Amino acid sequence: MRTYSAKPGEIESKWFIVDAGGQTLGRTASKIATILQGKNKPTYTPHVDTGDHVIVINAADVVLTGNKLDAKQYRYHTGWMGGLVSTSAREMLEKKPTNLITFAVKGMLPKTKLGKQMLKKMKVHAGPAPAHGYEAQKAEALKL
């Protein structure tokens, strides 16, 4: 018996809707990363993008446990002297709640071109899903 290896043309991709309202950030992000990579399928192949598309709604209602709202810091450097910019999770949740989930999922995906390709298959909305989109994809609701 030979080992099955998925080819890029053979992959069938589904669409899932995940409601992040009231869910813990890390647990939700790990489930989403698993679906984006395709690890929930029996045809998973590490070097081929076998994952599905994910639509995340209600990102502004995600929950962080413990003291993470104030203690967790998101940092980046502008490239200039003294250019370290730091934002707390509370500020990010108020200003750009979609980035909170995006950064959490991005850290759980491979750090390669394939990981960037997987991240593009995730759409994040701060509130409920927009009324004008995603009907054609026939997305299934995913219970976490």
Q: What's the CATH code, domain 15-65+94-129?
A: 3.90.1180.10
Q: In Å, how far are 50, 73, 117 from 53, measured between CA atoms?
A: 10, 29, 11
C-alpha–C-alpha distance, residues 8 and 46, integer Å: 12
Domain boundaries, the chain: 15-65+94-129
DSSP alpha helices (H): ranges in the chain?
25-37, 68-71, 89-95, 97-106, 113-119
For 109-129, write each residue's pLDDT tens digit.
999 999 999 999 999 999 998
Inform me whether the pLDDT recorded for 131 exceeds 80: no
For 44-65, write each residue's pLDDT tens digit.
999 999 999 999 999 999 999 9
